[in-house]
Amino acid sequence: MARTYDYLFKLLLIGDSGVGKTCVLFRFSDDSFNNSFISTIGIDFKIRTIDLDGKKIKLQIWDTAGQERFRTITTAYYRGAMGIMLVYDITNEKSFENIKNWIRNIEEHASQDVERMIIGNKCDMEDRRVVSRDRGQQLSIEYGTKFMETSAKLNHNIEEAFYTLARDIKGKMERGQGQTVGVGGTTGRYQQDSTIAAQGNNLCKNRHTFHCDFIAF
Amino acid sequence: MNEQCALHFTGPPGSEVDDLGFRRPWDVKLDENSTYFKAANAYSEFWTQYLPTLVRRRKRWEKVDPRTHPLLMQRFIHKGVPSTFRKEIWLRNCPPRGEIPSTSVPNLVAEEIRLDLPRTFPDNIRLRNTKAQNTVGRILYELARFVPSIGYCQGLNFIAALLWLLLENEERTKDLLIFLIKPRSSWYGMDMSGLRRDMRVLYELLRQEVPVICSTLVRLDVGLDLLLGKWFLCWFLEVLPMETVLRIWDCFIYEGDVWFFRVAIRLLRINSIKIAACKTMDQLLTTIQSIGPSKPSLKCHLLIQNAMSEKITQDQVDALRDRFSKEF
C-alpha cells in the first residue's frame, strides 16, 4: 500500500477534566461542535492529514481522560508523542493552576524534546473569564512554550494551534534535531518474559508520581 | 458522539424514544447519504430477528417462573431477562446498604461528580432536566460516602445513570450500585490497581485461549489496560449496544464478573484475524473501537450464547487474581 503522507506526527491532548479537550479535537478533525460531549474514559484518537509547506502530514491526535487517576494508564503512551497540547479552561482557575502539574507529568513521562503548547480554551465565554490572557502568556514564557487562546465552539484558533504545533515539529525534524522523537523506546511493558516485573516497576513509579502531584495541588 | 448515540437506543425501530428514555438517533425515513444509514439498517435487521426472541422469552418467564429453581434460573438468565422482570431480578440478591458511614466526602469529589452530570447520556430525554441529573449526582455521592477509596471515578456516572433509568428508584439504585461496585473498588481507586491486575488476568486467559492477540499486543507494545480498560470500567456501556449491555449485566449481576472476561475473550476471538493484521498501534485501536458498533456485537442473543461456550469460570478468574495481586 502506497503511503499517502510524508510525515506522521503523533500529538497528545492533556489537561483537566472538562476543559474541552474532546471538543478541540472534534473541531479540528470533524469540524463539528456539540455542547453535549460525554466524558472521555481512558483514551481516544482522531486522524487528520494536513498540507504544510508542500508536505502531507498525517496527524494522529490522542485525546486522554482528564481525571488524574487515569494517568496511571495513559502516561505509558506519552513516550511516543512528538507534540503535546496542554489545555486549560479560561473560566476555570484550577484547570489553569494544574497546567504546572501536567507539565511536570510530561517531563517525567514524555520524550525530552517533545514540542509543547499551552492552550486556553473556551475564550468565547468572556463574561465568565477568570484567567486573563496575560497570565496564560506569562506561564507559557516561563515554560518556553507557545501559547494560544482558542474556542472550539466558535472555531477560533483551532486550526492555527494544530498547524503551529505541526510546523514546529516539522521544523525541528528538518533541522535534524529530535530525530529520536517518536521512536523513544517502548512502554517497558513486554520487555521481560514475564511481563509482570516491568509493569510492577512502572506502577510503583506512577504511584509515587501521583502522590507528589496530589500533595502539590 | 453520533456513533455513541447509535449505541444507546434499544426500542422498536419505529418508536421515537425507548423504555429507558434514549432517543432514536436517526429519522424514520433515512436517505442513503445519512451517516446513520448503515447503522439504522443494521439495527432494523437486528430488531426484526430479535423481537420474536423477546416475545418468546417473556412468555416462557410468565409461564414457567424460573425463580424457584436455581438451575432453571441460570439458564433463563443466560437467555435474557425480559424487561418486565429485570428490575426485580437485578435487585433480587441486593441487600440494603446499611448505616451511613461517618466519613465525609471531600469537596473535590463532589465537584468531579457535578462536572460529569450534564455529560452523562445527553441523548436521554429523562436525564435532560437538572432534577434528574441531581438524582444521579446524589447516587454517585452516596457511593463516594460508602466507598471512600474510590471517591468518584469517571465511568461510574454511566453505570449509576443506567441503573437509575432502569430501576426508577433512587434508594434502591444506591443499594445496588454500592453492592456491585464495592467488590470491585480497586478498579476505580486512585491507582486503578485492580483494573490493571484484571487486565493481567485477561492477558493470561488470552494467552491460553486466543494467543494471537497476545503476540499482537507484544509486537505493537500496547497494553490491554489502554485498549480494553473502558470495557471493564463501564461494564461495556459506551462500548457495546445497549441491548447487549443489558444482556451482559443480566448474567454479571446473577453470576459474577467472569462474564466480563467471557464477553471480552469472545469479542477478541471473533476479531482475532483483523487484530493480528494490524501493523500499527492506531490501526489496532481503530480495530478495537470498531468492535462496539459491529454486527456480532449487536446480535446479543448469539453473543451471549457464544460467550457461554468460553469455558472460563469465576473460580479460575479469582485464582488468577490471587496469583497476580501481589504485583499490582
Domain at B137, CATH number: 1.10.8.270
Nearest by Cα to B119 from A106, A146, A36, A170: A36
Domain with B247 in it: what CATH number?
Answer: 1.10.472.80
Q: How many domains would you assign to chain B?
A: 2
Question: Distance, in angstroms, between B196 CA and closest chain A CA?
Answer: 8
User: Helices (DSSP H) in A83-157: which residue ranges?
Assistant: 93-97, 99-109, 133-143
Q: How far apart are the first and last CA of chain A?
A: 49
pTM for this one?
0.91
Nearest by Cα to B299 from B274, B277, B273, B266: B266
Mean pLDDT, chain A, rounded, equals: 83
- Looking at the fold, whether B321 and B236 belong to one and the same domain comes out as yes
Q: Is residue B139 part of a domain?
A: yes
Q: Which of B188, B190, B204 to mutate to test the interface with A (most CBs of A within 10 A)?
A: B190
| Among candidate residues B187, B210, B245, the one where a domain is terminated | B187
How do residues B253-285 score in pLDDT, each as one tens digit?
999 999 999 999 999 999 999 999 999 988 999
Contact B154 A70 (CB under 8 A): yes
Q: How far apart are the first and last CA of chain B?
A: 34
Q: Is residue B50 part of a domain?
A: no
Amino acid letter for position A74: T
Q: What is the mean pLDDT of residues B8-18?
A: 93
Q: Is residue B102 part of a domain?
A: no
Contact A43 B234 (CB under 8 A): no
Compute CA distances B3 → A206, B200, B313, whole Å: 33, 29, 33
Q: Is residue B1 part of a domain?
A: no
Contact A189 B285 (CB under 8 A): no
Contacts 24+ apart (CB under 8 A), A146-150: A146/A116, A146/A117, A146/A118, A147/A117, A147/A118, A147/A119, A147/A120, A148/A117, A148/A118, A148/A119, A148/A120, A149/A90, A149/A119, A149/A120, A149/A121, A149/A123, A150/A24, A150/A119, A150/A120, A150/A121, A150/A123
How do residues B37-55 score in pLDDT, each as one tens digit?
888 889 999 999 999 999 9
Q: A7-15 and A55-64 as β-strands: parallel, antiparallel, unpaired?
A: parallel
Contact B230 A206 (CB under 8 A): no
B222 CB neighbours in chain A (<8 A) are 187
B194 near A CB under 8 A: no
ipTM of this complex prediction, to 2 decimal places = 0.89
**A100 neighbors A212 (Cβ within 8 angstroms):** no
- Looking at the fold, whether B199 and B297 belong to one and the same domain comes out as yes
Query: Between A43, A67, A203, which is nearest B328 by CB?
Result: A203
Position A206 pLDDT exceeds 60: no
- Looking at the fold, whether B319 and B198 belong to one and the same domain comes out as yes
- Looking at the fold, whether B213 and B323 belong to one and the same domain comes out as yes
Q: What is the 8-class DSSP label of residue A146? A: E
- Looking at the fold, whether B114 and B160 belong to one and the same domain comes out as yes
How do residues B218-247 score in pLDDT, each as one tens digit?
999 999 998 999 999 999 999 999 999 999
**B10 neighbors B18 (Cβ within 8 angstroms):** yes
- Looking at the fold, whether B199 and B323 belong to one and the same domain comes out as yes
| Among candidate residues B164, B187, B210, the one where a domain is terminated | B187
Q: Is residue B63 part of a domain?
A: no
Least confident of A60-64, A96-100, B160-164: A60-64
- Looking at the fold, whether B285 and B302 belong to one and the same domain comes out as yes
What value does the CA radius of gyration of chain B take, rounded to a whole number of Å?
20
Query: Between A38, A80, A210, which is nearest B191 by CB?
Result: A210
Q: Which domain holds residue B142?
A: 107-187
How do residues A34-73 score in pLDDT, each as one tens digit?
776 778 888 888 999 999 999 999 999 999 999 999 998 8
A60 near B CB under 8 A: yes
Going edge to edge, which strands form the sheet with A55-64? A43-52, A55-64, A7-15, A83-89, A115-121, A146-149
